[in-house]
Each structure stands twice: as C-alpha cells, then as structure tokens.
C-alpha cells in the first residue's frame, strides 16, 4: 500500500563523527504536538567477548547515502511516517561507541516501531558498508561475514 | 568505464579503482563478472568466490542485468553495515 504524499522530515547522514541520539530524536519531535510516537534505535560496536579492539567500517561514498535514502523512501511508502532520520558512521569505531542511528516518528506507535525495524533490516543487507575487525591481540582481524540471519530478517518484509 | 572495488575485493585486487575497457560482446553483469575473473590471478581470487556483488552507477544490480551505458561499476562483498 502506498500512502498519500504528506510532509515527512527525512534526513540521511553518513559521517565519521559520533552522534548524540537524544539530541537527534529531539530535533524530530520538538515543537510538534501531533506526534504520538518516536522510536530511536542505536546500533553499538560490541567487543565480542573482549577480543575486539575496534571495527573499521568502509563505505561506498555517494552510494551509501543514495541507498539509505532509497530504503527510507520504501519505508515511507509502507508506513505513514512523520519523520525519519538515519545516521551511519564509517572509519574506526571502538567498542561501546555508536555505529548507526535510526529515528522514526509517527502519529501512532506501530508505524514508528515497524518502520525502524524495517530500516535496520534493509540497511544491513543493502547499504554499502563493510566491517573489518581489529583484534585486541594486535592481529589484523577478518572482514565480518554477512550473516544468513540478516538476509532472513530483510526477507520477512517481502511477505 | 570506471571500476571501483571495496572491502576484501579491493584488498585481493590490490587497488581501489581503475579504468577498464569492456569488450563490446560483454552485455550483462554476469558476463562482466566472468570477464573480470580472467584479468589476472588477483582478479580470479576475488571473483572466484562467487559472492561478489555489483552496483552500476551507485545502484545494486543482479547478474542478469544489462550493463548499458554505465559510467561507474562497483564490485564488493555482501554488505555488513548496520
């Protein structure tokens, strides 16, 4: 189902710098009295049981932004969103630091929840980013392999 | 046309980008991938995995897609962002 065009605040950023999830969510909601829901998802770099020193995220400049925007447009076609923001970082990221932010706003909660989950599932399998591991023992780790479960998570939205 | 390589495709081939001149008979992305894998040992290693994904002018394409008048073709592993 495609929803009629309505104003939806869309913002996509691909950056090396970290971000403030609270401040970003606030920007989408401040001054608004019509919103019923804001969902904020932050993906973090985990230390993989204390073995990981950092992740190095490579991206395809230009396509990364374009692909995320295409995904946001697809989400807007499926749910009546009032706002959607995606920030994805690249470069070296240490455990505990944020990697990705998805914020969605809507009149009712279901749309914001579902659209945020959809955006994350699609970003993982479509947005041109690749993670390389740097391990604590100084060894150059491997490129992270794509997971079948991520592919399956994206597939569930096709039903 | 300009070819771009990312992540382990870039590492195996040993460069991030180059200009390539495609033979006229190469029409589809699948034919292009097969042709690329014969350009040398390092290309064979990258492309023989059978998992390389392709984007034309910054949009994903399947192996049966036509190359057409592509300006920029990128080759990369399955994505692991998010």
Q: What is the CATH number of the domain that holds A85?
A: 3.90.1170.40
Mean pLDDT computed over A73-83: 97
**pLDDT in the model for residue A128:** 98
Q: Which of residues 38-77 of B touch A (CB under 8 A)?
A: 55, 58-60, 74, 76-77
User: Which DSSP category does A146 fall into?
Assistant: P
pLDDT at A149 over 80: yes
User: Contact A90/A59 with Cβ under 8 angstroms?
Assistant: yes
Q: Does B21 touch chain A (CB under 8 A)?
A: no
pLDDT per residue as tens digits for the range B19-41: 999 999 999 999 999 999 999 99
Query: What is the value of ipTM here, to two decimals?
Result: 0.95
Task: Please tell me the distance in Å from A27's CA to the nearest CA on chain B.
Answer: 22
pTM of the model: 0.93
| A155 CB within 8 Å of a chain B CB | no
Interacting residues of A121 by C-beta distance below 8 A, sequence separation 6+: A150, A153, A154, A156, A157
Of A66, A123, A130, the CB nearest to B77: A130
Residue B76 to residue A60, Cβ atoms within 8 A: yes
In 10 A of CB A147, how many CB atoms? 13
CB spacing of B82 vs A62 below 8 angstroms: no
Domain boundaries, chain B: 2-76
Average pLDDT over residues B48-61: 94
Strands A9-15 and A37-44, sheet pairing:
unpaired
Q: Which range of residues forms the domain containing residue A26? A: 9-143
What is the count of structural domains for chain A? 1
Average per-residue pLDDT for chain A? 93
Per the CATH hierarchy, to which homologous superfamily does domain B2-76 belong?
Answer: Beta-grasp domain (3.10.20.30)
Q: What is the DSSP letter of A17?
A: S
| pLDDT above 60 (res A1) | no
* pLDDT tens-digit series, residues A83-129: 999 999 999 999 999 999 999 999 999 999 999 999 999 999 999 99
Average pLDDT of every residue of chain B: 95
B76 CB neighbours in chain A (<8 A) are 60, 128, 130
Mean pLDDT of B52-78: 96
């Amino acid at each position: 189902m495609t929803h009629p065009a309505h104003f939806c605040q869309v913002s996509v950023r691909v950056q090396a710098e970290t971000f403030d999830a609270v401040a970003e969510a606030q920007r989408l909601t401040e001054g608004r009295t019509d919103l019923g829901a804001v969902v904020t998802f932050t993906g973090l770099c985990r230390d993989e049981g204390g073995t990981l020193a950092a992740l190095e995220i490579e991206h395809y400049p230009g396509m990364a932004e374009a692909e995320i925007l295409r995904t946001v447009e697809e989400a807007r076609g499926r749910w009546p969103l009032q706002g959607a923001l995606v920030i994805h970082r690249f470069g070296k990221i240490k455990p505990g630091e944020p990697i990705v932010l998805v914020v969605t706003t809507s009149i009712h909660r279901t749309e914001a929840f579902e659209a945020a989950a959809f955006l994350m599932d699609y970003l993982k399998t479509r947005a041109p980013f690749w993670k390389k591991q740097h391990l604590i023992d100084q060894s150059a780790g491997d490129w992270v392999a794509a997971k079948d479960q991520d592919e399956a998570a994206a597939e569930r939205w096709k039903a | 046309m300009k070819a771009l390589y990312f992540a382990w495709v870039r590492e195996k081939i040993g460069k991030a980008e180059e200009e390539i001149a495609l033979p006229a008979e190469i029409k589809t992305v699948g034919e292009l991938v097969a042709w690329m894998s014969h350009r040398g040992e390092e290309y064979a290693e990258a492309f023989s995995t059978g998992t390389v994904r392709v984007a034309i002018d910054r949009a994903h394409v399947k192996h049966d897609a036509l190359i057409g008048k592509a300006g920029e073709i990128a080759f990369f592993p399955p994505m692991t962002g998010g």
